[in-house]
Amino acid sequence: MKNVRLILLALLFATTPLLAADHQILVSNFSFTPENLTIQVGDTVTWTNEGGTHNVRADDGSFRCANGCDGTGGNGDPAPAGWSFTLTFDEPAELIRYHCEPHGAPGGVGMAGTITVEGLEDDIFSDRFETP
């Protein structure tokens, strides 16, 4: 019975992100702080508007948020201070560009930022089993 518990515990940890973190981005003064962020797969990012009428829109259209997000309880239209939202990033991404629609534009113009989502190592032993 003790071995079964250990196996179940090991499986639980193998399928759960152990070190997922929540990163904060402040929205105010026509900027995102930090402007550029690197996170790990499974981490979340919380944007919080501390002043002005803003929103956050991915350049590729994958999210659009302010008081809620398209598809998750809001329309993502620019809104005054006081809103926050959190997104979890479950896939690696070399560069996710985003901007505020009233004060920026795609490609890093004006009020804009980036997120890089680093993936977990595909195989921690890959360097030990290389084929000649």
DSSP per position, 53-70: SB-EEETTSS-EEESEET
Of the candidate ranges 18-32, 51-65, 79-93, 117-131, the one whose mean pLDDT is the lowest: 117-131
- Name the H helices within 15-131: none
Beta-carbon contacts of 108 under 8 Å, excluding residues fewer than 6 positions away, are 97, 99, 114
CB-based contact 79:66 (threshold 8 Å): yes
Could you report the per-residue pLDDT of 40-71, keeping only the tens digit for each? Answer: 999 999 999 999 999 999 999 989 988 777 55
Could you report the per-residue pLDDT of 71-97, keeping only the tens digit for each? Answer: 555 678 898 888 888 999 999 999 999
Q: Please state which CATH class domain 20-120 belongs to.
A: mainly beta
pLDDT category at 117 given cuts 50, 70, 90 is very high
Beta bridge partners of 22: 44
pTM of the model: 0.76
Percent of the chain with pLDDT over 70: 73
**Residue 123 reports pLDDT greater than 50:** no
Picking from 53, 47, 44, 55, the residue whose alpha carbon sits closest to that of residue 22 is 44
Two structure tokens written together for 73: 């309880």
